[in-house]
Amino acid sequence: MWDNLFQAIDEHYEKMVQTRRFLHQHPELSFQETETANFIADTYKRLGISYQTQVGGNGIVATLEGGRPGKTVALRADFDALPIQEENDVAYKSQREGVMHACGHDGHTAALLGLAEAVLPFQDQLPGALVFIHQHAEEMPPGGAKAMIEDGALDQVDAVFGTHLWASTPFGTIETSKGAFMAGADKFEITIQGKGGHGAQPHLTKDAIVIASQLVTSLQQVVSRRVDPLSTAVLTIGELQAGRAFNVIADTAKLTGTVRTFDETVQKDILEEMDKIIQGTCHASGADYKFDYDKGYPPVVNHKKEAEIILNHADQADPGLTTRETAPAMAAEDFAYYLLEKPGAFYFTGAQLPDHNYPHHHPKFDFDERALPHAAKTLIQAYLNYQEANN
């Protein structure tokens, strides 16, 4: 019945690519995406689709009412970029110094806008309503999802679906899970205040670098020795800053890192263990410390029935697609907040380039643009199958 719709999406491929490349050339950082938000709003204005601006910040919510009774289903795309200097040598390279779409959000936006335009001629045939959520600030906690939800983005919504173009998943493959899919992500910062001095007189100092080094080693034992082996967790120290000269013992050191978990109890236990280790190590060395722990996005936990819609019906959207259930990823996504409010699912749309396999957040990140219609078609297929299952 919907073959003509899927064909229309394919016919919008070139326009999706054009949109994606324009956005890629004009990236904006989280919470600063005013030009991108205006571009999205202008597109809906041109299409004649009702929309709201400044939802929870720079967010845009557009609504397309169908011509038949049914449920209201939201489809979400994010649109912020990262503070990365692009190293790709492509015609659509970022024109903004130190800012890059290095995670595919330009593609998410292009796919959703292309879908909105392709589906418009079929409006009278659609059941219920389609809500297009364009979310700002996914990359930077507290993120845009929570604020958009608090501002009413999901008030009339029955279910929500979203996808991420995934550069490490083969082109033509759709991946998701029927439960926990992406980890919760926290950030921590430890500041050690020791006592500096001359490099030739360590006995008169409290060496902040030595203390920091002990913490790096000890904190690695939290997951390996103090968390149940059957529970998944990651503790990574990504930054250590200390010292200014070869012959000076540093008085301060700062460590920053991340904790990734799927379970609230595990998260709590790790925090308590970290606090004990930091306190004991610093006090044993006679140093003071400050420990800041920011709880970030919760885990992305799909609802089983909605995840099954993705796994069982993606090939209806495109016979060239294959689906597979995958183990959870330790990356994080604030799509988690939508799933705490409404039934739904999040999934990866394979977009791996055959000869350009750089990871997300890399200066040479890119993806296979042929995946744009896959993202659009599987999103609308999820909407259609949800309608069928719930009407």
User: Are 192 and 287 within one domain?
Assistant: yes
Position 98 scores a pLDDT of 98
Q: How many CA atoms lie within 13 A of 135 on its CB side?
A: 33
Given 297, 320, 344, which residue is the final one in a domain? 297
In terms of DSSP H, where are the helices of the chain?
A: 3-11, 13-25, 34-47, 105-119, 145-150, 208-226, 264-284, 304-317, 336-341, 371-390
What is the 8-class DSSP label of residue 123? G
User: Are 106 and 211 within one domain?
Assistant: no
Given 297, 324, 359, which residue is the final one in a domain? 297
Nearest-CA neighbor of 76 among 109, 27, 123?
Answer: 109
User: Are 203 and 259 within one domain?
Assistant: yes
User: CATH code at 92?
Assistant: 3.40.630.10
User: What is the rounded CA–CA span in Å between residue 61 and residue 75?
Assistant: 10
User: Are 219 and 236 within one domain?
Assistant: yes
User: Are 58 and 167 within one domain?
Assistant: yes
Indicate the pairing of strand 184-193 with strand 173-176.
Answer: unpaired
Mean of all residue pLDDT scores within the chain: 97
User: What is the rounded CA–CA span in Å between residue 333 and residue 146?
Assistant: 12
User: Are 115 and 260 within one domain?
Assistant: no
User: Are 97 and 26 within one domain?
Assistant: yes
Of 33, 78, 106, 138, catalytic: 138
Position 357 scores a pLDDT of 83
User: What is the rounded CA–CA span in Å between residue 182 and residue 118?
Assistant: 30
User: Are 359 and 215 within one domain?
Assistant: no
Q: Give the model confidence (pLDDT) of 232-284 as tens digits.
A: 999 999 999 999 999 999 999 999 999 999 999 999 999 999 999 999 999 99
Q: Is 275 a catalytic residue?
A: no
DSSP 244-294: SSTTEE-SEEEEEEEEEES-HHHHHHHHHHHHHHHHHHHHHTT-EEEEEEE
DSSP 203-223: GGSB-HHHHHHHHHHHHHHHH
Dihedral (CA of 175, 176, 180, 181) sign = positive
Of 78, 80, 186, 368, catalytic: 80
Residue range(s) defining the domain that contains residue 329: 3-182+299-390
User: Are 293 and 233 within one domain?
Assistant: yes
Q: Is 89 a catalytic residue?
A: no
Alpha-carbon distance values, 144 to 147, 183, 347 (Å):
5, 18, 19
User: Are 155 and 54 within one domain?
Assistant: yes
Domain count, the chain: 2
Number of Cβ atoms within 10 Å of the Cβ of 217: 9
Q: Give the model confidence (pLDDT) of 337-385 as tens digits.
A: 999 999 999 999 999 999 888 999 999 999 999 999 999 999 999 999 9
User: Are 167 and 46 within one domain?
Assistant: yes
Q: Which residues pair with 65 in a beta bridge?
A: 129
Q: Could you tell me the end-to-end alpha-carbon distance of the chain, in angstroms, rounded to an integer? A: 17
What is the 8-class DSSP label of residue 168? T
Position 319 scores a pLDDT of 92
User: What is the rounded CA–CA span in Å between residue 381 and residue 310?
Assistant: 8
Regions of the chain short of the pLDDT cut 70: none
User: Are 50 and 167 within one domain?
Assistant: yes
Position 356 scores a pLDDT of 87
Given 245, 262, 297, which residue is the final one in a domain? 297
Q: Between helices 371-390 and 13-25, what is the axis angle to 10°?
A: 110
User: CATH code at 232?
Assistant: 3.30.70.360
Q: What is the token pair recorded at 23?
A: 């956005």
